[in-house]
Copies of this chain bind each other. A is one copy, B any other.
């Protein structure tokens, strides 16, 4: 599903290939016969209409009909819900044309033409808009239909179905009213199935329906087929703007100004006996991509029956036995459609008395593995070229292929649901505390369960196999860290009530205590009891093939954000060409180091701080050596310490409660020590830490911290070169620069240190100094900053926060969801780059930077580096690379290739 919702890619390509609509017939302004249109006219005819037109055009058996265009719908709204002048006249002409082709006449009791009236917008909005079947029936034509087909039961069943749909959709009578009458009729006859009702029963039922309509809708059920038709057209137009349709479009980011087309088509009936039937099929298997028609059908049935699930449909292969000739014809049609559309098609068909009719064709939705296989196979089949294949796969879908998935066959009990924050599945025992998670993880797999996480919990996150939180959004701390580590995470599961003191959580009716097994699925957000078997991911040959093509096609580099050697290794395996962001703060959070870090923070003089920093230097050097070893020959950007120091200390709120308790209990022994800690925490407390003492500001106030880090980085590079003949290019990143003077002060100091370390060792290593562009001011004065910075890395998380004035941690839970629901924002700007605002300043920053230093290396390391739309933007503004979490590296590789291909196509189109 996700694939089609987000398939801007595919749409965009189609648009670029689309030509102007063909001329319509003389005097036909608002309508078009199927035979007059083609597949490229989706804007005007909607998806369904364009499909019917195309199939008609290439000679496939489509029941005759015509489409009222989306322009008519838009005009209807422009005229304050008046039908466009001339529309009804055109409709009459079109119906006449259909009559000519079918030999039937609309409203003629002797041989009545019945039609379906269906909505059909440019993008599929399944179940959102309305359909009326069997239109044209009334008390006279129903008798004609009975005589003509020799099947009164069929005729009256069709009539009561029509009345029910029309009553509901057009007249606004509640569906239940009809169902109640139907149930009463069956009760009266002592039967349970609709099919057990006789023609007479059904005729009586239509009388009952007529009464219901008069009572509920305060009007008679219309007898005039033309009036029925006009009312149905209006109803379809109206259905474009129902609240549910608007909500659906907001959610799926479909524009509101497209309007819907209306398709009016001769009815065909799959329920006319054993040589009739109906079904749906895909030209290839949409789950696996196997090259074989895949679908199901029912004989003697209508489309509704397949959907309703009353009878179990049969696999399409069986049609070969039931109606061999029709099957052969259908298989040929499928092959033809696939060749014609050069893509997998999702086809609806009906067989009326042995004659095959096609009712719909559209691009088939498919799973991610199927998409990859189909794309690669079609290149081998010479149906499409490599560039087209690359455009066929939704980049974001690749991520799910790289994580373990739950065995779909395994039974499960889902007890709750949260946001699918980091894909993959994990089972483990529930632990509510980070420290305990570390202990228990030594022997068992662990799921860390917290209301929310913060940097204090990092060691617990490292130890756990997955994380579940009851608060926070897609970019909460838990979500970001888990994605960075490639660990499954379900966050913001509001139905999960966690009681930390009792060490248990309640979800639905289940209560889960610490130590009990659960499974979380970070791809769906589901929380399940017990351990559920998983399927390990495989990077199939097709994926690897596709990504190789992507690497050939793209010009944008792809690096990874990785803080640990294991992440770096993963990144490299997934094709990263370097590390775009190594955050050093996590290194300080690890259990054995945190106390030393805290000592450093509590120090009251530079000398004391330096003393505490000395052992950290050893740790850091080994950390960097580990990462450098994995990234041999590649660049590694290391960001100097960035977060505010209070993140390394306990939370003020907890300390306040603790100190108050100690004080009231008279526990003076601990009190003094905890009070001292509280005082320091209060000193460091900030109203808005995101805008506080962090980044290069720390380095300006406490230069000794940066100094230690730069020593560790260069010593690591030197030792590897000298002892293991491994070369890397460390790029030292000074964060949060907003004024060139900040960079100057820090850079001058650190340059001296770097030169000194190299001089002392006598081993020349290459290195660069650069900065993170994450403050609006930095974009505005990027030309000045580039005088010193050898590289820029856009920190788009913080840029988004400052340019919008949104605190990420607060916005998600407090108001951003409302913005998305109301359509104030089309996308979460923390997931997809805000091109109008953030992007504008990035473009300015990149341009100004290169104006001073043409060889400036410019990349992006925010969360957006793995978002396909954002990657495309980065390509467009000429960045050198994007950097994202290791598991999104393949996503970025493909997205970068698509960006380049689309650009070429656009250029080709302009030429």
> Which residues of chain B are near A652, meaning CB under 8 Å?
653
In the bound complex, do residue B818 and residue A803 qualify as a contact, i.e. CB atoms below 8 Å apart? Answer: no
User: Which of A192-200, A507-515, A774-782 contacts its partner?
Assistant: A774-782
Contact residue among B775, B780, B811 (Cβ-Cβ distance under 8 Å from A805): B775
Central interface residue in A736, A777, A822, A834, by most chain B CB within 10 Å: A777
Measured between C-beta atoms, what is the minimum distance from A814 to chain B in Å? Answer: 4
- A801-820: CB near B (< 8 Å → 1, else 0) gives 11111110111001100110
In the bound complex, do residue A805 and residue B810 qualify as a contact, i.e. CB atoms below 8 Å apart? Answer: no
Measured between C-beta atoms, what is the minimum distance from A686 to chain B in Å? Answer: 4
> Which residues of chain B are near A819, meaning CB under 8 Å?
700, 742
Measured between C-beta atoms, what is the minimum distance from A509 to chain B in Å? Answer: 25
Contact residue among B686, B780, B815, B838 (Cβ-Cβ distance under 8 Å from A701): B815
> Which residues of chain B are near A686, meaning CB under 8 Å?
807, 809-810, 814
Q: Is A591 an interface residue (CB 8 A)?
A: no
Contact residue among B691, B736, B824 (Cβ-Cβ distance under 8 Å from A801): B691
Bound complex: CA A815 to CA B695 (Å)? 12
> Which residues of chain B are near A693, meaning CB under 8 Å?
810, 814-815
> Which residues of chain B are near A150, meaning CB under 8 Å?
none
In the bound complex, do residue B807 and residue A837 qualify as a contact, i.e. CB atoms below 8 Å apart? Answer: no
Q: Is A336 an interface residue (CB 8 A)?
A: no
Segment 847-880 of A: residues with Cβ below 8 Å from B: none
Q: Is A656 an interface residue (CB 8 A)?
A: yes
- A644-669: CB near B (< 8 Å → 1, else 0) gives 00000000110011001100110000
In the bound complex, do residue A836 and residue B781 qualify as a contact, i.e. CB atoms below 8 Å apart? Answer: yes
**Can you tell how many copies of this chain the complex includes?**
2
In the bound complex, do residue B688 and residue A745 qualify as a contact, i.e. CB atoms below 8 Å apart? Answer: no
In the bound complex, do residue B780 and residue A825 qualify as a contact, i.e. CB atoms below 8 Å apart? Answer: no
In the bound complex, do residue B807 and residue A687 qualify as a contact, i.e. CB atoms below 8 Å apart? Answer: yes
Contact residue among B665, B776, B801, B815 (Cβ-Cβ distance under 8 Å from A837): B776
In the bound complex, do residue A837 and residue B777 qualify as a contact, i.e. CB atoms below 8 Å apart? Answer: yes
**With known contacts A691-B810, A775-B805, A777-B804, A700–B824 Cβ distance under 8 A:** yes
Contact residue among B776, B807, B822 (Cβ-Cβ distance under 8 Å from A803): B776
In the bound complex, do residue B739 and residue A825 qualify as a contact, i.e. CB atoms below 8 Å apart? Answer: yes
> Which residues of chain B are near A337, meaning CB under 8 Å?
none
In the bound complex, do residue A805 and residue B738 qualify as a contact, i.e. CB atoms below 8 Å apart? Answer: yes
- A747-788: CB near B (< 8 Å → 1, else 0) gives 000000000000000000000000000111100110000000
In the bound complex, do residue B780 and residue A837 qualify as a contact, i.e. CB atoms below 8 Å apart? Answer: yes
> Which residues of chain B are near A21, meaning CB under 8 Å?
none
Measured between C-beta atoms, what is the minimum distance from A682 to chain B in Å? Answer: 9
> Which residues of chain B are near A802, meaning CB under 8 Å?
691, 776, 802-803, 805
Chain A interface size range: 35 or more
> Which residues of chain B are near A691, meaning CB under 8 Å?
688, 690-691, 801-802, 805-807, 810-811
> Which residues of chain B are near A222, meaning CB under 8 Å?
none
**Which B residue sits closest to A805, measured CB to CB?**
B775
**With known contacts A745-B824, A815-B701, A837-B738, A810–B687 Cβ distance under 8 A:** yes
**With known contacts A664-B664, A741-B825, A825-B741, A776–B841 Cβ distance under 8 A:** yes
In the bound complex, do residue A824 and residue B742 qualify as a contact, i.e. CB atoms below 8 Å apart? Answer: yes
Q: Is A692 an interface residue (CB 8 A)?
A: yes
Bound complex: CA A447 to CA B477 (Å)? 45
Contact residue among B665, B688, B834 (Cβ-Cβ distance under 8 Å from A809): B688
> Which residues of chain B are near A541, meaning CB under 8 Å?
none
Q: Is A417 an interface residue (CB 8 A)?
A: no
Bound complex: CA A745 to CA B825 (Å)? 12
Q: Is A324 an interface residue (CB 8 A)?
A: no
Segment 832-846 of A: residues with Cβ below 8 Å from B: 834, 836-838, 840-841
> Which residues of chain B are near A815, meaning CB under 8 Å?
693, 697, 700-701
Segment 679-726 of A: residues with Cβ below 8 Å from B: 686-693, 697, 700-701
Bound complex: CA A781 to CA B809 (Å)? 25
> Which residues of chain B are near A811, meaning CB under 8 Å?
691-692
> Which residues of chain B are near A834, meaning CB under 8 Å?
777
In the bound complex, do residue B824 and residue A688 qualify as a contact, i.e. CB atoms below 8 Å apart? Answer: no
> Which residues of chain B are near A823, meaning CB under 8 Å?
741
**Which B residue sits closest to A454, measured CB to CB?**
B687
Contact residue among B688, B774, B822 (Cβ-Cβ distance under 8 Å from A688): B688
Q: Is A798 an interface residue (CB 8 A)?
A: yes
Measured between C-beta atoms, what is the minimum distance from A49 to chain B in Å? Answer: 32
**With known contacts A656-B656, A836-B781, A700–B822 Cβ distance under 8 A:** yes
In the bound complex, do residue B736 and residue A805 qualify as a contact, i.e. CB atoms below 8 Å apart? Answer: yes
Measured between C-beta atoms, what is the minimum distance from A654 to chain B in Å? Answer: 9
> Which residues of chain B are near A824, meaning CB under 8 Å?
700, 739, 741-742, 745
In the bound complex, do residue A804 and residue B738 qualify as a contact, i.e. CB atoms below 8 Å apart? Answer: yes
Bound complex: CA A775 to CA B691 (Å)? 14
Contact residue among B801, B822, B840 (Cβ-Cβ distance under 8 Å from A780): B840
Bound complex: CA A686 to CA B814 (Å)? 9
> Which residues of chain B are near A776, meaning CB under 8 Å?
776, 802-803, 805, 837, 841
> Which residues of chain B are near A838, meaning CB under 8 Å?
777
> Which residues of chain B are near A745, meaning CB under 8 Å?
822, 824
**Which B residue sits closest to A742, measured CB to CB?**
B824
**Which B residue sits closest to A687, measured CB to CB?**
B809
Bound complex: CA A736 to CA B824 (Å)? 14
Measured between C-beta atoms, what is the minimum distance from A805 to chain B in Å? Answer: 4
> Which residues of chain B are near A665, meaning CB under 8 Å?
664
Measured between C-beta atoms, what is the minimum distance from A284 to chain B in Å? Answer: 42
> Which residues of chain B are near A806, meaning CB under 8 Å?
691
Bound complex: CA A693 to CA B817 (Å)? 12
Bound complex: CA A756 to CA B803 (Å)? 36
> Which residues of chain B are near A809, meaning CB under 8 Å?
686-688
**Which B residue sits closest to A738, measured CB to CB?**
B804
**Which B residue sits closest to A652, measured CB to CB?**
B653
Bound complex: CA A443 to CA B907 (Å)? 80
Measured between C-beta atoms, what is the minimum distance from A477 to chain B in Å? Answer: 10
> Which residues of chain B are near A656, meaning CB under 8 Å?
653, 656-657, 660
Bound complex: CA A43 to CA B741 (Å)? 26
> Which residues of chain B are near A836, meaning CB under 8 Å?
777, 780-781
Contact residue among B688, B741, B775 (Cβ-Cβ distance under 8 Å from A690): B688
> Which residues of chain B are near A774, meaning CB under 8 Å?
805
> Which residues of chain B are near A689, meaning CB under 8 Å?
687-688, 807, 810
Measured between C-beta atoms, what is the minimum distance from A256 to chain B in Å? Answer: 13
> Which residues of chain B are near A818, meaning CB under 8 Å?
700-701
Bound complex: CA A491 to CA B215 (Å)? 77
Bound complex: CA A838 to CA B806 (Å)? 18
In the bound complex, do residue A810 and residue B738 qualify as a contact, i.e. CB atoms below 8 Å apart? Answer: no
Measured between C-beta atoms, what is the minimum distance from A818 to chain B in Å? Answer: 6
> Which residues of chain B are near A822, meaning CB under 8 Å?
700, 745
Segment 724-742 of A: residues with Cβ below 8 Å from B: 736, 738-739, 741-742
> Which residues of chain B are near A738, meaning CB under 8 Å?
803-805, 837
Central interface residue in A652, A815, A823, A838, by most chain B CB within 10 Å: A815
**Which B residue sits closest to A688, measured CB to CB?**
B807
**Which B residue sits closest to A737, measured CB to CB?**
B805
> Which residues of chain B are near A798, meaning CB under 8 Å?
805
Bound complex: CA A814 to CA B695 (Å)? 13
Measured between C-beta atoms, what is the minimum distance from A745 to chain B in Å? Answer: 6
Bound complex: CA A806 to CA B700 (Å)? 15
In the bound complex, do residue B775 and residue A804 qualify as a contact, i.e. CB atoms below 8 Å apart? Answer: yes
In the bound complex, do residue A780 and residue B841 qualify as a contact, i.e. CB atoms below 8 Å apart? Answer: yes
Bound complex: CA A262 to CA B286 (Å)? 88
> Which residues of chain B are near A661, meaning CB under 8 Å?
660, 664
Q: List 30 A-B contacts (CB under 8 A).
A: A657-B657, A661-B664, A687-B809, A688-B691, A688-B807, A690-B691, A691-B805, A691-B810, A692-B807, A692-B810, A692-B814, A693-B814, A693-B815, A700-B824, A701-B818, A738-B805, A739-B824, A739-B825, A742-B819, A742-B824, A774-B805, A776-B776, A776-B803, A776-B805, A777-B805, A777-B834, A777-B838, A780-B803, A780-B836, A802-B802
Given contacts A657-B660, A777-B837, 10 further A-B contacts (CB under 8 A): A656-B657, A691-B805, A691-B806, A693-B815, A701-B818, A739-B825, A741-B824, A742-B824, A776-B803, A798-B805
Closest 6 CB pairs of A and B: A688-B807, A691-B807, A777-B837, A692-B810, A686-B810, A775-B805
